[in-house]
Amino acid sequence: MSSSTEFEPKIIAFVCNWCTYAGADLTGTSRLKYATNVKIVRFPCTGRIDFLLLLKSFAQGADGVIVSGCHPNDCHYTSGNFHARRRWIAFRTVLDLMGVDIRRIQYSWVSAAEGSKWADLVNNTVADIRALGPYAEYQKVAEYLEKEGFDEEA
């Protein structure tokens, strides 16, 4: 029923290979329906997901980002997700200080057995981002190159 003018959020999901990717796979094989706004990028482990990738996603036009992996104690590499969790805490702190809209980054644990949790996660995130609207604030700045030579006043 969506009209052509309704905002469809673009969402990039960075997921670990062992839990969330398998979980998302289960969502599909279980024939659970969920929003199609998400593009999945598979990583070996949440510990491998560089924080700059999240910023790159916004610069390239994403309105929201999902980062998801194994539940604590379930990491295929024992502690990758614990390291990732620490990094997320730090990353949220610095992004919040810089005034980046951290509501647009959704972190989650989704196991290989949680197909329905993945569907809920995506649906909820899409709804949240839809309510927030496009991340134009970030995208506008990302397009900017020093054309004028001197700094323009903001």
Binding site for another protein (CB under 8 A): 50-52, 55, 59-60, 72, 79, 82-83, 85-101, 106-109, 121, 124, 137-138, 141-142, 144-154
In the complex, least distance from residue 110 CB atom to another protein, rounded to whole angstroms: 9
Six token digits for residue 32: 């659970």
**CB nearer to another protein: pick between 3 and 45:** 45
Lookup result for tokens 């604030």: 137
The residue type found at 86 is: R
Q: How far is the CB of 89 from another protein (least distance, A)?
A: 6
- Comparing CB distances to another protein, the nearer of 26 and 84 is 84
- Residues 6 or more apart whose CB falls under 8 angstroms from that of 93 comprise none
How far, CA to CA in Å, does 124 sit from each of 35, 36, 46, 72, 119? 9, 12, 21, 22, 8
Kindly state the smallest distance separating residue 102's Cβ from another protein, in Å: 8
